[in-house]
Amino acid sequence: MHEVRALAPATVSNVVCGFDCLGFALDEPVDETVVRQIANPEVRIIHHDDFGLPTEPDKNVVGISVLAMIRDADLDFGFEVEITKGIKPGSGIGSSAASSCGAVVAANRLLGDRYSKLELVEFVMQGEMLASGARHADNVAPCIFGGMTLVRSTEPIDIVTLAHPSIFATVIHPQIEIKTADARAVLPQSVPLIDATRQWANLGAFVAAASQGDLRLLGRSMEDVVVEPVRKGLIPKFDEVKEASLAVGALGGGISGSGPAMFMLCPDAETASKVREAMRLVYEPTGIDFKIYCSPIAGSGARVI
């Protein structure tokens, strides 16, 4: 076997009250990666798109992730990685993490699956470090493990797979750019204790609601008093999208990642479709291009096909 093909899904991170720790995987969109063994212990990147992503392996999140694996395994050969992106970079739904996760999952298969999922997360976090400047796993964890995940700690890495009911997400991606620097600049350095307390009570309730399948509690707990208030101003029509979605039955939602994507969780596919329509009606008059995805919260993360 000299070539392995993998799919890796888009993911929603910073899920409302779970800033920097709570995420989940979608069924679509996905990135596709094909990994082939090559003679030298290096990484060669081939892009099938015009997003202008770098191909130098040490300047590319995928390159860094796969190089980390090559070094760890002390290989005397390397990998060519061919990437077909279904997830637009800068969307807020884990585009860079998806390509890297697909690449390491495929490369791992070529190595006889010698690495655990947790080890694969570690490799991809090295790539994400380039993209965000920090050890983040909140997109990587759901992309590798699938489903809904909580990153308890990144140092050392500690990932919890959460039980959750069969629910759906509708995600709208307005095709505008939010600079990472801007999304970061608005974050508060510190939080009033009273707000922090409210946030963690909500996150505790969210996790309990997910494990108990209590959709009403899930909805009530989807409240973000820390990050959403300062970041929503970067996203046109944020409040209108949320209100229109709740009005047709969405449980709750918020900013996906650091935006501009927004997501709403829905109790079933029918509601997810209604939310899609409600979002469309809010966004069409703005003249801003947008894409909307409806998807169950996916059980499977990045996988060989």
Which residue, 201 or 305, has its beta carbon nearer to its own copies? 201
- List 7's β-bridge partners, or say none: 32, 303
- List 43's β-bridge partners, or say none: 79
- The answer to whether residue 33 is catalytic is no
Residue from the set 202, 258, 271, 295 that interacts with its own copies by CB under 8 A: 202
183 binding its own copies? (CB under 8 A): no
Task: In whole angstroms, give the CA distance from residue 244 to residue 16.
Answer: 17
281 binding its own copies? (CB under 8 A): no
Size of the site for its own copies (CB under 8 A): 41
Q: How far is the CB of 94 from its own copies (least distance, A)?
A: 18
Report whether 230 contacts 190 (CB < 8 A). Answer: no
- How far CA 76 is from CA of 37, 40, 68, 105, in Å, comes to 11, 6, 14, 19
- The answer to whether residue 180 is catalytic is yes
Catalytic residue among 32, 82, 122, 128: 128
Residue from the set 46, 201, 247, 305 that interacts with its own copies by CB under 8 A: 201
User: What is the residue whose two structure tokens read 């509708």?
Assistant: 170
Window 203 to 242, contacts with its own copies (CB under 8 A) = 203-209, 211-212, 217, 220-221, 226
116 binding its own copies? (CB under 8 A): no
135 binding its own copies? (CB under 8 A): no
- DSSP assignments along 135-178, one per residue: ---TTHHHHHH-SEEEEEEETTEEEEEEP--S-EEEEEEES---
Residue from the set 111, 129, 176, 191 that interacts with its own copies by CB under 8 A: 191
Which residue, 204 or 233, has its beta carbon nearer to its own copies? 204
Task: In whole angstroms, give the CA distance from residue 141 to residue 295.
Answer: 18
Task: In whole angstroms, give the CA distance from residue 176 to residue 234.
Answer: 10
Report whether 294 contacts 131 (CB < 8 A). Answer: no
- Stretch near its own copies under the rule CB under 8 A, chosen from 119-127, 149-157, 252-260, 291-299: 149-157
Residues that bind its own copies (CB under 8 A): 17-22, 150-153, 158, 160, 162-163, 187-193, 196-209, 211-212, 217, 220-221, 226
